[in-house]
């Protein structure tokens, strides 16, 4: 099992090589120094130091093949996993989209659990405004959000970059129209 081999490599401080297919379907071989195996966004990831890129990165385990624990030890002294993960997230070259949603109280716990929602404002009745940070080219979060049904509504997807970011109007319209279409389809189905 890859996770066990990777954890053994972390303990032994041995580099690993593997073939990896990224979210854009590009495949190449990587040699990295594994730091930790972690579970996030409902998937297992390897947090590792990339010798070629000279930075920390995360690799989704299900996208790996041909895993090999090498005889080569670490060439760099590494910080703790938590600090390395922060650096990997900060340096991530894939876009992160900030999604603002309004969530009813009865769906709030699910939005926090499944979407890692962060409450920005909460009403007395438990309804809340939330911020989600989602990876571009990863679309499974969208299904989780849709599963909340009428208990969650999009406010505005924005490009990463903080308060000065402009709304992504095309994406927003697509999401709003899809949300409306789904609601209409569900109403039609229930009326029959």
Q: What's the pLDDT tens digit per position in 125-152?
A: 999 999 887 766 666 777 888 888 889 8
For residue 189, what pLDDT is reported?
46
For residue 173, what pLDDT is reported?
39
d(CA 137, CA 23): 6
Q: 56 forms bridges with which residues in the sheet?
A: 49
89-94 long-range contacts, CB within 8 A, separation 24+: 89/58, 91/55, 91/56, 91/57, 92/57, 92/58, 94/23, 94/135, 94/136, 94/137
d(CA 48, CA 78): 10
d(CA 41, CA 60): 10
Contact of 33 with 79, CB cutoff 8 Å: no
Q: What's the pLDDT tens digit per position in 76-111?
A: 887 776 666 666 666 555 567 788 889 999 999 988
Could you tell me the two tokens for 94?
Answer: 């894939």
The pLDDT mean for the chain works out to 78
d(CA 105, CA 128): 7
Mean pLDDT of 146-172: 61
87, containing H or E segment = helix 81-91
Q: Percent of the chain, pLDDT > 90?
A: 32
Domains of the chain with CATH codes? 2-91 (2.30.30), 96-191 (3.30.70)
Could you tell me the two tokens for 130?
Answer: 């939330």
Mean pLDDT of 12-36: 93
Cα 69–29–37 angle (5° rounding)? 50
């Amino acid at each position: 099992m890859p996770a066990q081999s990777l954890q053994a490599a972390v303990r032994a401080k041995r580099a690993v090589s593997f073939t990896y297919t990224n979210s854009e379907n590009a495949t190449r071989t990587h040699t990295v120094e594994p730091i930790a195996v972690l579970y996030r966004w409902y998937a297992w990831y390897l947090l590792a130091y990339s010798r070629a890129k000279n930075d920390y990165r995360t690799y989704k385990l299900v996208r790996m093949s041909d895993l090999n624990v090498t005889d080569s030890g670490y060439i760099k002294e590494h910080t703790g996993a938590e600090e390395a993960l922060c650096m990997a997230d900060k340096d991530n070259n894939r876009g992160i989209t900030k999604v603002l949603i309004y969530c009813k109280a009865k769906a709030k716990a699910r939005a926090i659990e499944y979407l890692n929602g962060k409450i920005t404002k909460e009403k007395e009745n438990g309804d809340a405004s939330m911020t989600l940070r989602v990876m571009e080219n990863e679309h499974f979060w969208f299904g989780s959000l849709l599963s909340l049904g009428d208990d969650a509504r999009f406010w505005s997807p924005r490009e990463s970059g903080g308060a000065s970011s402009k709304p992504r109007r095309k994406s927003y319209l697509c999401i709003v129209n899809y949300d409306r279409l789904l609601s209409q389809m569900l109403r039609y189905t229930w009326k029959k």
